[in-house]
Structure 1
């Protein structure tokens, strides 16, 4: 159990932290809205005063000042409310602009490995959906709360100034509303856990039902799948009814209690009683009949706004978490070192992620102009080794050097000019094919881009697209996985790095695409330092060195023929690989 000392600073909520830069603008907007809302009630009091004057046969000259004051207060109130809304929207625009820029700057500095562990939907939710939720908070919430509070407070003060006894009677339904509301929240909270559990089960059952339909049909298990989905729907429906029935009843009572007709009835009944007792004159009831029912709408608005505050708090937490994402350490501007050469050394490197040790004290040198292949079973640490060279993340211990310089001392821009990569998971941005190829060199000429595409064996396919190199990925450029891979190879070729990392670049390609990719890569890799992560051993038999990883450690290394001669781990892997590539003989029994 943690305790805090009385003098310790209180931790601000996520909303308070995010809104701190615009708190003064929001406070000004709230004050303007509060004052304006209070002023807009003046016409109701004016109507009551005018009616009393007319019934008392007062001269017309005594009525006009009230009319003028009421109209003036109404327009002044509208102007102040509009000014408050404008101030809130300007503050919101400032905050939204700053948050989006801060998130973009933060994401530009986080390790590349962070993106591989998260879906783009998580980032999109924070940058788009959550900021849109915060827009509702900053641009509308505080001014709306201020308007509701201003109307309620001004009305209450006015009524108590007229007659405190009738004011208490007229306002009695509102404490009753709060009591019913509290009961409704408790009633809803009792069944919330069961409701959320069944909502999660229904979501899971829906995904399983939709995604597994081809397999279900193929094996004739549609009845069982339909039954599981139907059970989830029935369970959710029952939980929904159990959750909403007490909640709806309590909310109906609460809303009925502060319906304008209910409040008006209370005012008239109380006024009639007080008039009979001689406490008030019948005409004194009119202001209460006009003003008290007007509190109902602001009260309901206040309840709705405060109820929606929870979603804004959750959005603020997600945005704060994104802004607090750990960034990759970079040398200070002007302090980065330049590598002297292109020799890569992994020096006693260890790294763990997701609680699993991926590499354990791995030492390895990549000599300039050589091809080094990393092989091993799934989970051996092959991709982790490649990603450390690309600084997707930094090692927990040890270091990786390029040209004798620790990668942490090299500016990222300088590193990626020297190290290119083609990954198994291809990422093309929503832009033209030309822009995708030129991503690393935006200033490349059209001729250079096309030469890179030719070298990657993708030029002909691009010309066959509706707009050639100007075709946009995801619109009129529909590319297969292997074709996307060749676009990413063209991107690497255009960058012309000294070191090339290939992480199972042909794993998802079909036979034709694999041949085209292998041909492009073999020509591109000549004279470069190449690190290949391979899952098909026949593709690396000509490597200068093959390194066998298992459980994060190097268990063997050497040339293909030397490793076969040792008849150890690599030789067993080779025999299994050859067996997997051998087609089943025609007519052979299964």
Structure 2
């Protein structure tokens, strides 16, 4: 119970602490080693001060170095030996701590990347349609990189700084507490100024700063992807505007974030500069000597050690900025790790399709639970038939396809496959029954053979080529420099229609009982579209086919045509029956000019 309470508190208060739980022990050990190493590396300073005291002290009483007593010479040797041993031991501990945190960082990075990949594999496919690729890239690449800076560098640096400051302050207080207080007086004022400057940074400014970084990431991805279009149409001014707006917005957020810090931090850093601290040591030391409270040699260790505290204190101040960045990165990584996933089914809850019949039963769906796009839709996809869904843009056609593919689940009603509720079918089993070809083509950076066989890696060469022939892409592949071994983006530079036919070949090779086509031939050229349609028609003779279409002449031979209007079924039937009804379908047919083209084809 106590562990659960601890995790809950960590989740609410500190995302960094929660992410670092797997390597917390490693970090603690590394920080302690770094602190101890830093302490040991400062021992030579005390050694130098002690040697100087011995030598100068001997001179003051009239004893030259050549005739020092044997005990003094022995103390000098032992001081030098101990100083060197501590120096090398300290360096070894610091090196070992760095090695340890880098091992821990590698372990954490591996754990986070695997966890993120596993999480993204479990989220609904529709989640990706509402996220910019730059946003996901920032989390997986940039934010984990920011956490690398934290785990691999911040904590050991913190340990070294804390160790150096701690041992220095302790040493000075052991020498003379009055002198130590005056020598260290600038440092508390530094923290007062620095703390006041930090309080001026509100959470809102921090959020604006992080949001500006995210906006630039998204704008860069969008800008790079749009470069071919920009060059083709010469729309550089308009196309660059979003990128410029993102840069300007980030500049505004950056200035808003940094301006309150510039003057206070400059004053604070000047206050603890080594020359300032040394001046304080000399003034207070002179005063104490004149008052007879200390002898002149006591000032030497303060002059050697006190200014050395400035560097680690300044470094700690700079580290705060890294912690702020890492906190934002940890929040985004944690948010992605907590992205809602598809419901995980227990063995008792799992259902198995008894057939390939699909039923939409009073299905409704609203984006974000508010914007309703589908209402009370019911129809059946019977095995071995072609069902086309048509309608105006924004009517909800693609949403129906994505509901069937379980990109997201219905807000109302249910969809069944072979009598089993799709929410109770395991994803792997579901996608063995359903294949899809969408408008947005996704080919991986691999050979064409690997792209086509993505769903069936064990497919033979003959099966891959047969699928390519069915999609009318085989001849085009043979024209490439390395044929089926040509790599997408390297020596396989395909047009949009050709990429679409590769994705169709992938679906044909998978050979699912049900195939969903969402404007599958929209990017295909006129020469190959007829061949692709014929191949898909042959495929549908023994399979169920659901086609989302914008061009009505491509689905006029479908067994059933469903007309969607404002997210609801307006009418359904075959092509001839819908034309005879003279309803919305007939209106779309006439407005598209298909009627005159059909008459011309009949006359020809």
User: What's the TM-score, normalizing by structure 1?
Assistant: 0.88
Provide the secondary structure at the position in 2 that maps to 1:327. coil
Distance 1:365 1:195, change over 3 A: closer
Structure 2 counterparts to residues 165-184 of structure 1, below 5 A: 165-182=178-195, 184=197
Q: 1:85 deviation in Å?
A: 1.8
Structure 2 counterparts to residues 180-199 of structure 1, below 5 A: 180-182=193-195, 184-185=197-198
Distance 1:77 1:387 in 2: 61
Q: 1:129 deviation in Å?
A: 1.5
Which of residues 316, 319, 330 is equivalent to 2:333? 319
Distance 1:333 1:99, change over 3 A: farther
Which of residues 435, 455, 460 is equivalent to 2:470? 455
Q: Is 1:264 the equivalent of 2:278?
A: yes
Distance 1:325 1:234, change over 3 A: closer
Q: 1:241 deviation in Å?
A: 7.7
Q: 1:581 deviation in Å?
A: 8.7
Instruction: Look up the match of 1:125.
Output: 138
Deviations 1:282-307 (A, max 9, x none): 11001001101111110111111112
Distance 1:229 1:391 in 2: 34
Distance 2:396 2:344 in 1: 25
Which of residues 498, 506, 510 is equivalent to 1:483? 498
Which of residues 300, 303, 315 is equivalent to 1:301? 315
Distance 1:221 1:419 in 2: 42
Structure 2 counterparts to residues 418-567 of structure 1, below 5 A: 418-567=433-582
Deviations 1:322-374 (A, max 9, x none): 11111112433586433222111111111111431121121111111111111
Instruction: Look up the match of 1:285.
Output: 299
Instruction: Look up the match of 2:91.
Output: 78
Q: 1:197 deviation in Å?
A: 12
Q: How many residues align?
A: 574
Distance 1:396 1:229, change over 3 A: closer
Distance 1:33 1:504, change over 3 A: same
Are the aligned partners of 1:458 and 1:486 in contact in 2 as well (CA < 8 Å)? yes
Q: Is 1:161 the equivalent of 2:174?
A: yes
Structure 2 counterparts to residues 83-122 of structure 1, below 5 A: 83-122=96-135
Are the aligned partners of 1:191 and 1:242 in contact in 2 as well (CA < 8 Å)? no
Are the aligned partners of 1:423 and 1:505 in contact in 2 as well (CA < 8 Å)? yes
Question: Which runs of no fewer than 5 residues in structure 1 stay unpaired?
Answer: 583-590
Distance 1:23 1:463, change over 3 A: same
Q: 1:242 deviation in Å?
A: 8.6
Are the aligned partners of 2:201 and 2:257 in contact in 1 as well (CA < 8 Å)? yes
Distance 2:107 2:497 in 1: 44
Provide the secondary structure at the position in 2 that maps to 1:308. helix
Deviations 1:211-267 (A, max 9, x none): 799889989997x99999999999998998898676433332222222212211211
User: What's the TM-score, normalizing by structure 2?
Assistant: 0.86
Are the aligned partners of 1:330 and 1:408 in contact in 2 as well (CA < 8 Å)? no
Distance 1:347 1:519 in 2: 31
Instruction: Look up the match of 2:602.
Output: none
Distance 1:327 1:308, change over 3 A: same
Q: 1:434 deviation in Å?
A: 0.8
Are the aligned partners of 2:197 and 2:265 in contact in 1 as well (CA < 8 Å)? yes
Are the aligned partners of 1:198 and 1:232 in contact in 2 as well (CA < 8 Å)? no
Distance 1:464 1:539 in 2: 28
Instruction: Look up the match of 2:590.
Output: 575
Instruction: Look up the match of 2:76.
Output: 63
Distance 1:50 1:25, change over 3 A: same
RMSD: 3.6
Deviations 1:495-539 (A, max 9, x none): 111111111112233423433432332333232111110111111
